C-alpha cells in the first residue's frame, strides 16, 4: 500500500509551539484524510519541510528560535518551496502583520479561534488552487519553451491590420519584430501585398479555415521569401505566423537548375529545350507561322580536349555559349528565363559535349533562319583566347523548319541533326538545310550497327583501364574498365556514339557481359603476375541490369576467371536505382552479400535523394566530373563536392572523384577527405600493356605533397 509520505498532496506540515493546538490540528486534519507532520518552531519546520516535502504548511506566527515570518521567508527561498501554500495561523488582525506575512510569501491566513469543522475543506480548497496554479505554470512553461524553439514570428492582428501582440521567433532572419509602438502589419510587409492581405483576412473570418500565402521582397540587396499562415484567434483577432523560407526556395531553385540547366554553360538542357520547342511549335501552329530548329556542332572540338585537357575545352564551350546568345535575337526566342546566367537565355540549349541547339520562332520566311544561322557561323569562327592559347573553332549547322521538315519535336530535331551531318560532309564550317533526300546519317548508323554486331567476333573491341588513386595511402588501388572500338573503316569510335547505339539495337547486354568477363580475367592475371590485389570496376547499363539475370552473369564471370568477388566493383547509374526499387535492392543485396562492391556512378546528375541512398546497399559514390572540373573557379561546384563527401561519409559510404585533372582539384579532394580519385592528373585510360608499365613505375608518392 502506498504510504502517506509518498502521497505529497496529502501531507500537511503543522508548525506551532503550542502542543495542545498541534494535537487539535492533527485530529481535525487526519479526520479529513490528511497525513500530518509536526514541528515545534520555525527552525524545526525548515528541517521537516526538507524531509517530507508537504503539500500545505500551517505556520504559527509567534514561536521561539525562528518565528513564522522568518521560516516562511526561508522556505520561499528554496526552489522546492517557492510555490507551496503556506497558511499563517494567527490571532493577529492588524494590517502591519498581514502585510508582513504577505511580504515574506504567505499564501493566506487561518485566524484563531479556528473553525475546526471547516478547516479540512479550507485546506483542500487551498490545495486545489495550488495544483491548478502549478498546472498553469507547467503549461505556460511548455508553451514558452515551444515558442522559444520555433523559428517563426507570431503576430496577433486585428482585421484592420493593427498589431496587438507579437512573439519573436528564434530565427533572426524572420520578419522584423515590432518594437515599442507595435503599429500596423503593413509597416513590416511590402506595400503591394495590402490588397492580398485584406482578401485573405476576409476569407479567413468568413470560413474559419486556416489559410496561408507565400510572398517575397528584397532586403539588403537579397531576395527573401516568406510563408504567412493565418488562423482565427479571439473575436476579430487573427494569429499570423511568419516563417522565413528563403533557404527552401533557394534549394528549390538549385534543384530546378540542376534538372533543367547545363551546369557548365548555364544554358537550358535537352529537357527544358524540348519544352520550349514544343511551346514554339504550338504557337506557330495557331498563327500559321514557321519555327526553325538549329543544330550546332563544333568542328574538331575533340582536338582541344585531347591536346590541352578538358579544363581548356570547358572554357571554350562557355565562350561559345556566350557568343551564341549574342547571335540569337531576343525576339527570336520563346523568352528569357529568370535563372539565366552569363547572358544565357531560354532559346538556346546545350545537348551535351560540343552540341548546341537554338529555336527561332514566329518566322514568316525561311530566309530569317538563314540570316541567323550565318551570323552564328561567322561569329563562332572568331578566335578564342585563353591563357596564351588561341583557338579557332568553326561550326557545322543544320537547320530544319516547322512544318516543312517535321510537325513535332522529335522530327524537327532529328532532321536538324541530319542536316548538321550534311554540313560536316560538305567540308565543315557551313550551314545546311534539311531535305527529304538526306540519308547520310541514316546510312552511317546502319553501317555502324552492322559493324557493332560483328565487332566482338572480329576482335575490334578492347578494354582500356583508368587507374584510381587512394588519397590516404597514395597507392593505385584499382582501375575502371572502359570499352574502346577501333572500327576498320571509321577508326576509333567514341563510346558515347556506339554505346547508345548498342542500347537501341539490343546489343548492350552482350557487350556488357563481354566487358565483365574480360575485366575479371584481366584482374586475375594482374593478381597472379604482380601479386597485387587490384580491384577492377565495371559499368552496368540499365538494360543489362534488368533484361538479364545480372547476378548470375556476374557470378559466372567471377567463377570462370577464378577472381575473388572483393576485387570486383560494379558501377551503377542512378537510372538503375530508380527502376523497380524493391527488385533492384534484392539484386544489389545478392551481389553485395557475395563480397562485390557497389558504386553509384555520376552521383549528383540524376534523381538521387538521401532516402534512396539509405535504402540501397551501396559501398561508394562517384562524384560526377561535371562538378569536379570547375570547382576551383565555381563556389557552387566546390560546395556540392564537399557536401557530397560529407553526406556520403555520414552514411558510411566511400567517395570517388572522377575527372581530376589539376593539382588544385587533387588538393581540394584531399583536404575534404575524399577517399579515391581518378582522372587525367593520375592517368588517362590505358591499354593493358601501358597500364602494366604504369603499375610498376614509381608513381607512388608522386602526389605526396597534396594531402
Q: What is the CATH number for 341?
A: 3.30.70.270
Q: Are residues 160 and 140 in the same domain?
A: no
**Do residues 155 and 142 both lie within one domain?**
no
If you average pLDDT over residues 7-26, what whole number do you get?
85
Query: Does residue 332 belong to any structural domain of this protein?
Result: yes
595 in any annotated domain: yes
- Burial tier of 464 (Cβ tally within 10 Å: 0-12, 13-18, 19+): middle
Least confident of 129-138, 267-276, 526-535, 553-562: 129-138
Evaluate whether residue 573 is within a structural domain: yes
Same domain, 409 and 538: no
Mean pLDDT (the chain, rounded):
82
Quick one: 409 and 461 in the same domain? Answer: no
List of E strands, 299-415? 348-352, 355-363, 384-386, 389-391, 395-402
The average pLDDT across 345-361 equals 82
Domain count, the chain: 4
Q: How far apart are CA 605 and CA 628, in angstroms?
A: 12
Prediction pTM value: 0.43
Residues 319 and 429 in one domain: yes
Range of lowest pLDDT (371-375, 475-479, 609-613, 702-706): 702-706
pLDDT (average), residues 576-595: 83
The CB-side HSE value for 2 (13 A sphere, CA atoms) comes to 8
**Exposed / middle / buried, residue 401 (Cβ in 10 Å: 0-12, 13-18, 19+):** buried
Q: Looking at the structure, do residues 157 and 189 belong to the same domain, yes or no? A: yes
Among residues 399, 434, 469, which one ends one of the domains? 434
**Model confidence at 290: pLDDT above 80:** yes
Give per-residue pLDDT as tens, 35-50.
999 999 988 999 999 8
In a domain, 652, yes or no: yes
In terms of residue numbers, what domain contains 368? 265-434
Amino acid 331: pLDDT: 40
Task: Band the pLDDT of 146: cuts 50, 70, 90.
Answer: low
SS3 content of the chain, % helix, strand, coil (to 5): 45, 25, 30
The answer to whether residues 60 and 92 belong to one domain is yes
Nearest to 660 by CA among 643, 640, 686, 641: 641
313 and 358 inside one domain: yes
Q: Which one, of 319, 270, 310, lies nearest residue 417 by Cα?
A: 270
Pick the more confident residue, 345 or 296: 296
CA dihedral 281→283→287→293, nearest 10 degrees, is -40
Amino acid at each position: 500500500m502506498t504510504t502517506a509520505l509518498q502521497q505529497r498532496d496529502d501531507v500537511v506540515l503543522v508548525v506551532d509551539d503550542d502542543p495542545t493546538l498541534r494535537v487539535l490540528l492533527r485530529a481535525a486534519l487526519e479526520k479529513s484524510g490528511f497525513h500530518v507532520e509536526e514541528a515545534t518552531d520555525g527552525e524545526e519546520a525548515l528541517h521537516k519541510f526538507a524531509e517530507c516535502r508537504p503539500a500545505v504548511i500551517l505556520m504559527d506566527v509567534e514561536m521561539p528560535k525562528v518565528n513564522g515570518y522568518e521560516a516562511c521567508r526561508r522556505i520561499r527561498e528554496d526552489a522546492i518551496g517557492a510555490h507551496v501554500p503556506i497558511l499563517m495561523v494567527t490571532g493577529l488582525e492588524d494590517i502591519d502583520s498581514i502585510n508582513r506575512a504577505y511580504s515574506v510569501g504567505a499564501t493566506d491566513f487561518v485566524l484563531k479561534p479556528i473553525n475546526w469543522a471547516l478547516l479540512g475543506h479550507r485546506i483542500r480548497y487551498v490545495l486545489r488552487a495550488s495544483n491548478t496554479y502549478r498546472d498553469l505554470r507547467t503549461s505556460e512553461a511548455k508553451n514558452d519553451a515551444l515558442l522559444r524553439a520555433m523559428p517563426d514570428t507570431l503576430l496577433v492582428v486585428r482585421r484592420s491590420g493593427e498589431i496587438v501582440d507579437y512573439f519573436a521567433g528564434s530565427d533572426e532572419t524572420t520578419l522584423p519584430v515590432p518594437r515599442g509602438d507595435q503599429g500596423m502589419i503593413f509597416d513590416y510587409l511590402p506595400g503591394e501585398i495590402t490588397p492580398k492581405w485584406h482578401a485573405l483576412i476576409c476569407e479567413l473570418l468568413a470560413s474559419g479555415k486556416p489559410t496561408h500565402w507565400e510572398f517575397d521582397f528584397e532586403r539588403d540587396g537579397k531576395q527573401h521569401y516568406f510563408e504567412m499562415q493565418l488562423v482565427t484567434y479571439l473575436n476579430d483577432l487573427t494569429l499570423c505566423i511568419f516563417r522565413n523560407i528563403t533557404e527552401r526556395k533557394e534549394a528549390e531553385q538549385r534543384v530546378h537548375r540542376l534538372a533543367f540547366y547545363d551546369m557548365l554553360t548555364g544554358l537550358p538542357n535537352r529537357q527544358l529545350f524540348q519544352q520550349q520547342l514544343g511551346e514554339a511549335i504550338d504557337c506557330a501552329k495557331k498563327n500559321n507561322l514557321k519555327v526553325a530548329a538549329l543544330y550546332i556542332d563544333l568542328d574538331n572540338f575533340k582536338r582541344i580536349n585531347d591536346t590541352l585537357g578538358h579544363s581548356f575545352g570547358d572554357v571554350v564551350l562557355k565562350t561559345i555559349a556566350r557568343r551564341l546568345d549574342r547571335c540569337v535575337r531576343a525576339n527570336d526566342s520563346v523568352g528569357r528565363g529568370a535563372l539565366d546566367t552569363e547572358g544565357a537565355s531560354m532559346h538556346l540549349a546545350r545537348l551535351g559535349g560540343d552540341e548546341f541547339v537554338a529555336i527561332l520562332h514566329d518566322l514568316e520566311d525561311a530566309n530569317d533562319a538563314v540570316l541567323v544561322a550565318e551570323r552564328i557561323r561567322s561569329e563562332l569562327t572568331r578566335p578564342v583566347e585563353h591563357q596564351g592559347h588561341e583557338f579557332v573553332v568553326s561550326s557545322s549547322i543544320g537547320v530544319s523548319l516547322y512544318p516543312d521538315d517535321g510537325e513535332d519535336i522529335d522530327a524537327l530535331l532529328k532532321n536538324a541533326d541530319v542536316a548538321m551531318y550534311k554540313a560536316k560532309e560538305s567540308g565543315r564550317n557551313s550551314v545546311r538545310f534539311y531535305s527529304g533526300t538526306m540519308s547520310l546519317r541514316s546510312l552511317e548508323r546502319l553501317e555502324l550497327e552492322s559493324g557493332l554486331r560483328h565487332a566482338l567476333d572480329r576482335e575490334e573491341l578492347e578494354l582500356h583501364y583508368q587507374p584510381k588513386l587512394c588519397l590516404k595511402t597514395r597507392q593505385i588501388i584499382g582501375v575502371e574498365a572502359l570499352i574502346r572500338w577501333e572500327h576498320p573503316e571509321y577508326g576509333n569510335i567514341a563510346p558515347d556514339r556506339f554505346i547508345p547505339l548498342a542500347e537501341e539495337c539490343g546489343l548492350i547486354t552482350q557487350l556488357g557481359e563481354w566487358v565483365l568477363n574480360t575485366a575479371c580475367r584481366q584482374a586475375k592475371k594482374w593478381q597472379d603476375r604482380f601479386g597485387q590485389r587490384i580491384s577492377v570496376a565495371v559499368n552496368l547499363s540499365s538494360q543489362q541490369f534488368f533484361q538479364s539475370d545480372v547476378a548470375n552473369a556476374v557470378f559466372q564471370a567471377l567463377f570462370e576467371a577464378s577472381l575473388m568477388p572483393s576485387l570486383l566493383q560494379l558501377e551503377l547509374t542512378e537510372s538503375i536505382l530508380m527502376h523497380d526499387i524493391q527488385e533492384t535492392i534484392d539484386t544489389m543485396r545478392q551481389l553485395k552479400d557475395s563480397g562485390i562492391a557497389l558504386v553509384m556512378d555520376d552521383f549528383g546528375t540524376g534523381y538521387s535523394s538521401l532516402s534512396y541512398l539509405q535504402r540501397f546497399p551501396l559501398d561508394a559514390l562517384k562524384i560526377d566530373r561535371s562538378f569536379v572540373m570547375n570547382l576551383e573557379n565555381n563556389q557552387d561546384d566546390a560546395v556540392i563536392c564537399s557536401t557530397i563527401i560529407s553526406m556520403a561519409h555520414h552514411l558510411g559510404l566511400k567517395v570517388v572523384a572522377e575527372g581530376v585533372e589539376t593539382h588544385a582539384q587533387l588538393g581540394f579532394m584531399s583536404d575534404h577527405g575524399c577517399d579515391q580519385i581518378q582522372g587525367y592528373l593520375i592517368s588517362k585510360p590505358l591499354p593493358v600493356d601501358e597500364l602494366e608499365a604504369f603499375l610498376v613505375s614509381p608513381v607512388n608518392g608522386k602526389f605526396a605533397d597534396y594531402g
